[in-house]
Chains A and B, each alone.
Chain A
Amino acid sequence: MNVGRWISVAASVMAAGLLARAVPVVAHHSSAEAYDARKKAEAQGTVTKVLLRNPHSFVFIETTDEKGQKIEWQVELVAWSQMFIQGWTKDMLTPGMVVKVVGIPSRAPGSHGITNAQFTRPDGSRIGPQGGREGRGGEPTGP
């Protein structure tokens, strides 16, 4: 698989209440201003950079559109300190990996952000839990 090979890119707009319902609530920053949970974004390409940081982590994916133009998708995840708790490890996403990501797109015209993302390998197997800027949360479970 060539680096940067674009298998399929679809930033499709759909009434995706399904995704909106899947968005857990854990965050310091609200994502509603930056991302549109009514839409769905999907991209597949090669990981070029991984920034596991606080307050938010980012994974950069290079794809090529139908006109041959390279597009850099920026996938925003929750803080690394929380990803770590959720079970992420630093070797789960590394530069050179070919991945598919499905999430919700950024609002600003011309931007290529995705959050609340689920990463998968070409064989369809999942990489890490679904998560995004708002992480994975849940209701309190008590002591």
Chain B
Amino acid sequence: MRGTISRASLARCFGGAACAALLTVMIGHAPPKLNAQSNPAPSTIPDLAGIWDGTPRARPANNPDVPWAKAGQRLGKPLPDGTIGNENTPPTFPELNERALAYVKVFDEALSPKYDCQPATPPAIEYDPYNTEIVQWPDRVLFRYEKDDQLRTVWMNGRQPTVHDWGIQGFSVGRYEGNALLVETTHFLFDITGFDDYNYIPSSQEKKVNERYWREGNELKATITVEDPLFLKKPASFTTRWLPAPKGYKLQSFECDPETARLSVQYLPKRYK
């Protein structure tokens, strides 16, 4: 009897225009899930899973003009994306505001958090010359970095950051679009070398890093774009690549050692008393 009544009621409801309108309004007022992507079409999900080689076998190692190069600095030299720089290669070096320039001017190398094993963060960690493993789960994508034993979680299920989600690696959300993985990371902590430790460029809690990952044949490619209105006049970006790690390769633990990490600070001429 109960089932009969329910079916009848349901039939009346779905048969009525008023019910349809009500459903439309309800859907229209559902809380927005900006990054939720519950059932992306399989064809739009690129296969990024695996261990990717970011060592000099794949791309030039980081240094003062890699990946952030001024005009002409990489002329005739390999670029982060595996191509060779030419006259038309655009500069990637950021336009720094006065605040950033002031930080650069007074910076003391001994202050670098790296000498105490503080891990690299985006956009530097993506370009350290080590291997990275990507794991794609339905609700998240995991980036395991050999460098500094770091793990970044990219939430694909609409999860949004709370006031408790500030952290050194920030908070990442993502979605698939056009055969690419798009990642947006916010909620970073201030980092005195958080943009680039070779050029002493800091990053603020307003840093936002957008990453786009896609496959080109056997290569993994990514464009990393950084916004930070407290230090950059406009967003800066670079494109890079990884190659498949040798077959059977497993990520090595880094286990940063504070003793040897700080040992070489004694070799720096003292800038401040």
Interface residues of A (CB under 8 A from B): 25-30, 33-35, 51, 53-58, 74, 76, 79, 81-82, 84-85, 106-109, 111, 113, 133, 137-143
Q: Does B179 contact A (CB under 8 A)?
A: no
A-chain residues with CB within 8 Å of residue B265 when the two chains form the complex: 34
Contact of B63 among A27, A33, A140 (CB under 8 A): A27
Pairwise interchain contact B198-A55, C-beta atoms closer than 8 A: no
Pairwise interchain contact B268-A58, C-beta atoms closer than 8 A: no
B-chain residues with CB within 8 Å of residue A51 when the two chains form the complex: 257, 259-260
Pairwise interchain contact B78-A140, C-beta atoms closer than 8 A: yes
The residue in chain B whose Cβ has the minimal distance to the Cβ of A51 is B260
Say whether chain A's binding surface is mostly helix, strand, loop, or mixed.
loop
Pairwise interchain contact A26-B264, C-beta atoms closer than 8 A: no
Chain B interface residue bracket vs A: 35 or more
Pairwise interchain contact A143-B218, C-beta atoms closer than 8 A: yes
Q: Does B194 contact A (CB under 8 A)?
A: no
A-chain residues with CB within 8 Å of residue B270 when the two chains form the complex: 108
The residue in chain A whose Cβ has the minimal distance to the Cβ of B244 is A143
Question: A82 CA to B109 CA in the complex, in Å?
Answer: 23
A-chain residues with CB within 8 Å of residue B259 when the two chains form the complex: 51, 53
Q: Does B120 contact A (CB under 8 A)?
A: yes
Pairwise interchain contact A54-B256, C-beta atoms closer than 8 A: yes
Question: A52 CA to B200 CA in the complex, in Å?
Answer: 28
Question: A14 CA to B183 CA in the complex, in Å?
Answer: 50
Contact A30 to B129, CB < 8 A, known contacts A111-B266, A139-B60, A142-B82:
no
Pairwise interchain contact B60-A56, C-beta atoms closer than 8 A: no
> B53-66, CB under 8 A of A: which get 1 and which 0?
00111111111100
Pairwise interchain contact B56-A137, C-beta atoms closer than 8 A: yes
Pairwise interchain contact B260-A57, C-beta atoms closer than 8 A: yes
A-B contact pairs, 25 of them (CB 8 A): A27-B63, A29-B197, A30-B197, A30-B198, A33-B109, A53-B257, A55-B114, A58-B263, A74-B263, A76-B263, A81-B252, A81-B254, A82-B129, A106-B264, A106-B266, A107-B268, A108-B268, A113-B267, A133-B264, A138-B56, A139-B60, A140-B56, A140-B59, A140-B82, A143-B219
Contact of A28 among B57, B128, B243, B255 (CB under 8 A): B128
Pairwise interchain contact B130-A81, C-beta atoms closer than 8 A: yes
Say whether chain B's binding surface is mostly helix, strand, loop, or mixed.
loop
B-chain residues with CB within 8 Å of residue A34 when the two chains form the complex: 109, 264-265, 267-268
Q: Does B146 contact A (CB under 8 A)?
A: yes
Question: A109 CA to B268 CA in the complex, in Å?
Answer: 9
Q: Does B178 contact A (CB under 8 A)?
A: no
B-chain residues with CB within 8 Å of residue A139 when the two chains form the complex: 56, 60, 77-78
The residue in chain A whose Cβ has the minimal distance to the Cβ of B108 is A33
Question: A81 CA to B257 CA in the complex, in Å?
Answer: 12
Q: Does B15 contact A (CB under 8 A)?
A: no
For A34, A76, A133, A141, the residue with the greatest tally of chain B CB atoms inside 10 Å of its CB is A34
Pairwise interchain contact A107-B267, C-beta atoms closer than 8 A: yes
